[in-house]
Amino acid sequence: MFESAQLKHRVGKAAYAQEEAALRAALLNAQYDLKLDGSFPVLILIAGVEGAGKGETVNLLNEWMDPRHIRTKAFGTPSDEEAERPAHWRFWRALPPKGQVGIFFGAWHTLPIVQRVMGQIDEGDFTRQIADIQRLEQMLCDEGVLLLKYWFHLSKDQQKKRLKALAADPKTRWRVTETEWAYFKRYDRFVEVCEPFLRQTSTGAAPWIVVPGADARFRALTVGRHLLAALRERLDAKAAKASPEKTPPLLAPSDRLNVLSALQLDQPMTRTAYERQLEKWQGRLNLAARHPRFRKLSVVAVFEGNDGAGKGGAIRRVTGALDARGYDNIPVAAPTEKKRAQPYLWRFWRPLPRRGRFAFFDRSWYGRVLVERVEGYCSEADWKRAYGEINDFEAALVRHGVVVVKFWLAVSKDEQFKRFKLREQVEFKRFKITDEDWRNREKWDAYEAAVCDMVDRTSTATAPWTLVEANNKYHARIKVLKTLCEAVESALAKPRGGTGRR
- Which residue of 38, 144, 207, 312 would you call a contact of its own copies, by CB under 8 A? 207
202 binds its own copies (CB under 8 A): yes
Near its own copies by CB under 8 A, which window of 121-129, 158-166, 314-322, 475-483?
A: 121-129
- Distance (Å, rounded) from C-alpha 431 to C-alpha 429? 6
200 binds its own copies (CB under 8 A): yes
Measured CA distances, 107 to 46, 55, 75, 137, 332 (Å) = 8, 14, 6, 12, 29
- Which residue of 7, 168, 334, 493 would you call a contact of its own copies, by CB under 8 A? 7
- Structural element, H or E, at residue 19: helix 13-37
Q: Which is nearer to its own copies, 202 or 471 (CB)?
A: 202
Q: Which is nearer to its own copies, 247 or 434 (CB)?
A: 247
Phi and psi angles of residue 101, each rounded to the nearest 5 degrees, phi first: -110, 130
Stretch 149-168 residues interacting with its own copies (CB under 8 A): none
Each as own residue / partner, the long-range contacts of residues 81-88 (CB below 8 Å, 24 or more positions apart, any chain) are 81/354, 84/298, 84/354, 84/355, 85/352, 85/354, 85/400, 86/352, 86/396, 86/397, 86/399, 86/400, 86/402, 87/111, 87/396, 87/400, 88/136, 88/349, 88/396
- Residue 270: count of CB within 10 angstroms of its CB: 10
- Three-class DSSP category at 64: helix
Question: 102 near 94, Cβ under 8 Å?
Answer: yes
In the complex, what is the shortest distance from the CB of residue 243 to its own copies, in angstroms, rounded to a whole number?
5
Near its own copies by CB under 8 A, which window of 90-98, 128-136, 161-169, 314-322?
A: 128-136
- Which residue of 29, 72, 391, 499 would you call a contact of its own copies, by CB under 8 A? 391
- Which residue of 171, 174, 178, 251 would you call a contact of its own copies, by CB under 8 A? 251
452 binds its own copies (CB under 8 A): yes
- Distance (Å, rounded) from C-alpha 320 to C-alpha 317? 5
Stretch 292-311 residues interacting with its own copies (CB under 8 A): none
127 binds its own copies (CB under 8 A): yes
218 binds its own copies (CB under 8 A): yes
Stretch 320-359 residues interacting with its own copies (CB under 8 A): none
Near its own copies by CB under 8 A, which window of 82-90, 247-255, 436-444, 482-490?
A: 247-255
In the complex, what is the shortest distance from the CB of residue 309 to its own copies, in angstroms, rounded to a whole number?
19
Q: Which is nearer to its own copies, 460 or 490 (CB)?
A: 460
Near its own copies by CB under 8 A, which window of 54-62, 65-73, 207-215, 281-289?
A: 207-215
Near its own copies by CB under 8 A, which window of 65-73, 284-292, 319-327, 382-390?
A: 382-390
377 binds its own copies (CB under 8 A): no
Q: Binding pattern to its own copies, positions 409-448, x when CB under 8 A?
A: ----------------------------------------
Measured CA distances, 226 to 148, 149, 210, 222 (Å) = 9, 11, 11, 6
Residues 6+ apart with CB under 8 A from 143: 343, 344
304 by Cβ neighbours in 10 Å (0-12 / 13-18 / 19+) ranks as buried
**Cross-strand bridge partners of residue 210:** 151
Q: How far apart are the first and last CA of the chain?
A: 44
Near its own copies by CB under 8 A, which window of 154-162, 232-240, 307-315, 485-493?
A: 232-240
259 binds its own copies (CB under 8 A): yes
Stretch 174-193 residues interacting with its own copies (CB under 8 A): 192
Q: Binding pattern to its own copies, positions 459-498, x when CB under 8 A?
A: xxx---x---------------------------------
185 by Cβ neighbours in 10 Å (0-12 / 13-18 / 19+) ranks as exposed
Question: 369 near 377, Cβ under 8 Å?
Answer: no
In the complex, what is the shortest distance from the CB of residue 20 to its own copies, in angstroms, rounded to a whole number?
13
Q: Tell me the helices (H) and strands (E) count for the chain, helix number first.
A: 20, 10
